[in-house]
Structure formats: C-alpha cells, structure tokens
Structure 1
C-alpha cells in the first residue's frame, strides 16, 4: 500500500489536529513557527506525518474554537476533538459540516465575530 506522507510547517494560528483511526485519539500537531507577517525573515520548522487509512487531518481557524455561546464560554479544543471523533466515519466535507453544526448549536443566537474556516483531509 502506498504511503501517504505529508510534510509542512505551521505559520501561526491554531495547530492542525490529527485523528488516528487506529487509536481513536486526537493529537494536535505542534511545530515551531511564528505567525506569518510578524518578522521579515520568519523561520519555520517543518514537520512530517504519515496518514494511515482512516486518519483525518483537520486544519481550522480560531473562529471555530473561539466561538462563544450566550454565557461567553468558548467552543474550545475539547469540543472540537469530540466532534471529530464522533464524525470520523464521514467524508471530509461532511466532517466540516458536522463541526459547523456543532458550533452553531453551541453558540445558539450569539453573534460571532471571526471567520470559521476548515480544511479536512482523510486517507481512505
């Protein structure tokens, strides 16, 4: 079976999260790097992962985890991980839809002030 190896670096924002099908764990992919645009010559430490069948890599902006409900609680990393675990069997677009639906349910009618952007990659 061919290897699905990804190599990249993080230029600020939230760390991507990785759902491992074999263990059911959600792991933040932490690497060193500074937010793009802060310094003239930024340095980024590249990282590499191998996606096994069923693994999901989710990139997302902080508008997801910083979405607030009427009590001003944040949606947070733990809720995001819970939704990813609960929707891992879906196609990538449906996983993103499940996350957005969970955020909307959590936030209720509370207006949000940040974008909510995601990219989901799943190895089949």
Structure 2
C-alpha cells in the first residue's frame, strides 16, 4: 500500500485499511528512500528487492528486521552516496493475551 506523504499537504484525505493480524505478524512502514536507494549504476533497490528481503526475515523481531533490511539496502548501494532519507518502523503483533503481573 502506498500513498501521499503524511502531513505534507493540509486537509488531504487518506484511505483507511483494516487488517486482521495474527500473533507474530509484522507491519513495516518505510519511506521511499528505502525502495529508491540507488547504486552506482543508478538502479533502484526497489519494492521487489524489499519483498525478497522481508520473505527471508519472517521470524525476526522488529529490531532485527529493520537491521537486516538496512544491510540489504547497503549491499545494493555499495559506495553510492545516499540520495534520500531512509526511515523504517516495524511493528510486530504479539497477540491479544493480557500480560499478567505478579
């Protein structure tokens, strides 16, 4: 799912989406700087590379998922200068069970 930059244009409407998450499911939010990261041949990292990377990371926690994606992007760009910001937020759903305190 993609859309306009959040907060960039006043009074812009956004689509709502409801997802049913199962315990262990994750959602990754990222800026276009991830998929538009270019190597020295001016080739984008791209959504396909991101999906391939994420498919191998299904059992990692959020922190390691982000670190692994960043590593994958860095392997793609190598020595090319960074041309855009790269921001990610990964949220992992642990389930609906309340945490019991002692």
- Any stretches of 5+ residues in structure 1 without a counterpart? 1-9, 14-34
Structure 2 partner of 1:63: 33
Where does 1:39-58 land on structure 2 (aligned, <5 Å)? Answer: 40-58=10-28
Structure holding more helix per residue: 2
Q: How does 1:19-98 map to 2 (within 5 A)?
A: 36-38=7-9, 40-98=10-68
Larger Rg over CA atoms: 2
Greater relative contact order, per chain length (Cα 8 Å cut-off, separation 6+): 2
How far 1:100 moved relative to its partner?
Answer: 0.2
The CA deviation at 1:37 is 3.3
Using structure 1 for the length normalisation, give the TM-score. Answer: 0.68
Q: TM-score, normalised by structure 2?
A: 0.82
RMSD: 1.7
Residue of structure 2 equivalent to 1:12: 4
